Amino acid sequence: MAEFIPQPSCADTQEDNNLSVSEATLRISRLISPVTAWEKLALRDALGRVLHQDIISPINVPPHHNSAMDGYAIHSSDINGKSFTLKQVGTAFAGQPFAGVINAGECIRIMTGAMMPSDCDTVVMQEHVETDNNTIIVHGIHEAGQHVRLAGEDLKIADAVLAEGHKISAADLGLIASLGIGEVTVKRKLRVAFFSTGDELRSIGETLEAGQIFDSNRYTLYGMLKRLDVDILDMGVIPDQKQALRDAFQLAAEQADVVITSGGVSVGDADYVKDILAELGQVDFWKIAMKPGRPLAFGIVNNTLFFGLPGNPVSVMVTFYQFARPALQQLAGETDQIRQLMQVPCISNIRKRPGRFEFQRGILFENEQGQLQVKTTGEQGSGILRSMSIANCFILLNEACDGIAPGNTVTVQPFSGII
Ligand code: AMP
Ligand code: MG
């Protein structure tokens, strides 16, 4: 409730010393060196992986001039007024070129994708043609060169097609295949270990005693990591005990490029993650001027990147999305990732005071006029995981924002493909 007190409080002064979201992002990014190891894969297996090589076209695509239509290949010099007659001397199919000579006044029947005969430079669509045995009568207005796809129109020999650092999409698989390239080198996969911390946590299948809850963070983390195509090492639930945490961190750091944990980074009496990490490596503990997800630990333990996310289920998702995900992409060598943001009118009244960056859960929808709008999911408590489940975007309210009135435009970050 304190969130909505309009007057500045001492908490505000404290918040001035917190790290901003953008400063935290920058500090994380400065510490990351992308992986250098790579492997060669059959093209299909490279889907979702990051290119280690530039893809340079070894051929022209298409390799030859070809017809863009089913129709007739003609000499443009034969185009004559609104209708003219030509003699058909053969046919070209896709994959079966016409080998003969086509003189002035002659044409061939040609199918879409068939190689253009070198004698002809123009295609007329069959819809504009009347046929009479071996002669055709062409009607309508035609231009020299029409309906011909030129060799190299898509890609020319030696064109740079895709750059190192690009993540391979379904379209890219087709593009690379169109060049006749069957194997590509990609950066090695990242290995990410994660575990939940907390004495109160039980795994599915166990019985809940008084004060206990089911561990949900490992499931959301699993889901979000799966989306990133990394190798996953799920280390389960670790109790709030120093030795157990120490062992878990050491084991995780030995085996993974990145260790992600949830819980125990706050200021509670059982928040030992801090002490253990201070012992094991260079880790910073930040209070970030954001909501939800204020405490965040980040650093390096034996060459392994470490993210200590807060325990609250929504905070885990927000901090993973905002900090861990871009860091993993950077570490994986992905250079062309962009934050997809949209400006959309908001129909909700959102109360906020300046100071922290808020990531409210929102629902993007189309109104009756087909216009895209956003509303909040309502209650925004950081323990309410349902708000993430029914949301399809974050509504980003920056530090300076002092509330949103219905109709105001807000910045929205859609979840699609990410959460
Ligand atoms: P902590 O950051 O450890 O103080 O935890 C903050 C809140 O998140 C507490 O209410 C915890 O019970 C809850 N929490 C921590 N870890 C998990 C988890 N893995 N699954 C669900 N809730 C959790
Ligand atoms: Mg805890």
Give the per-residue pLDDT at 359: 96
pLDDT at 213 over 80: yes
The yes-or-no verdict on residue 4 having pLDDT over 70 is no
Mean pLDDT of 65-74: 98
Report the share of the chain in percent with pLDDT over 70: 95
Calculate ∠ Cα 191-390-167, nearest 5°: 35
Which amino acid type is present at position 353?
Answer: R
- For 225-235, what is each residue's pLDDT tens digit? 999 989 999 99
Task: Give one DSSP letter per residue of 280-339, joined into a string.
Answer: HSEEEEEEBSEES--EEEEEEETTEEEEEE-SSHHHHHHHIIIIIHHHHHHHTT------
pLDDT(204) > 50: yes
SS3 category, 263:
coil
Task: Compute the average pLDDT of residues 63-83.
Answer: 96
Q: How far apart are CA 345 and CA 373, in angstroms?
A: 5
pTM (2 d.p.): 0.86
* pLDDT confidence bin for 418, thresholds 50/70/90: low
- For residue 232, CA distances in Å to 184, 227, 235, 238, 334 come to 24, 11, 9, 17, 19
**Contact assessment for residue 373 and residue 392, using Cβ atoms and an 8 Å cutoff:** no
Query: Does 292 sit behind a cis peptide bond, omega within 30 degrees of 0 on the bond before it?
Result: yes
* Distance between first and last Cα of the chain: 29
- Give burial (CB, 10 Å; 0-12/13-18/19+) of 356: buried
Sign of CA dihedral 295, 14, 271, 298: positive
Task: Judge if the beta carbon of residue 280 lies within 6 A of ligand 1.
Answer: no
* pLDDT at residue 267 tops 90: no
Label residue 406 by pLDDT band (50, 70, 90).
very high
Cβ-in-10-Å burial (0-12, 13-18, 19+) of 91 comes to: middle
Mean pLDDT of the chain: 92
pLDDT at 419: 59
**pLDDT confidence bin for 10, thresholds 50/70/90:** very low
Q: Whose CA is nearest to atom 6 of ligand 1?
A: 311
Ligand 1 contact via 313 beta carbon (within 6 Å): yes
Q: Which residue, among 401, 409, 288, has the nearest Cα to 22 in the 3D structure?
A: 288
User: Is the CB of residue 308 below 6 angstroms from any atom belonging to ligand 1?
Assistant: no
- Which residue, 391, 409, 255, is CA-closest to 317? 391
Using CA of residue 87, residue 90, residue 91, residue 92, what is the dihedral sign?
A: negative
Instruction: Give the pLDDT band (50/70/90) at residue 139.
Output: very high
> What distance in Å separates the CA atoms of residue 104 and residue 125, rounded to the nearest whole number?
19
- Ligand 1: nearest atom to the Cα of 200: 12
Specify which of 86-90, 152-156, 277-281, 337-341 reaches the highest per-range mean pLDDT. Answer: 86-90
How much is the pLDDT for 7? 40
Chain centroid to CA 91: 46
Work out the burial of residue 112: count CB atoms within 10 Å of its CB; fewer than 13 is exposed, 13-18 middle, 19 or more buried: middle
pLDDT > 90? residue 265:
no
Amino acid in position 327 = A
Mean pLDDT, range 240-255, rounded to an integer: 95
pLDDT of res. 382: 73
Helix or strand or coil: residue 188? coil
Q: In angstroms, rounded to a whole number, what is the distance separating the alpha carbons of residues 292 and 310?
A: 9
- How far, in whole angstroms, is CA 291 from its chain's centroid? 24
List phi, psi (to 5°) of 213.
Answer: -135, 160
The CA 414 to ligand 2 mean position distance, Å, reads: 30
User: Nearest 10 degrees: CA dihedral of 342, 345, 349, 351?
Assistant: 30
The finding on whether 217 has its CB within 6 A of some atom of ligand 1 is yes
Please, which residues have CB within 8 angstroms of residue 410's CB and are 6 or more apart in sequence? 343, 344, 345, 346, 362, 374, 395, 396, 397, 404
pLDDT band at residue 59 under the 50/70/90 scheme: very high
Q: Judge whether residue 416 has pLDDT over 80.
A: no
Site to probe by mutation for ligand 1, drawn from 202, 217, 307 as the one with most ligand atoms within 8 Å of Cβ, is: 217
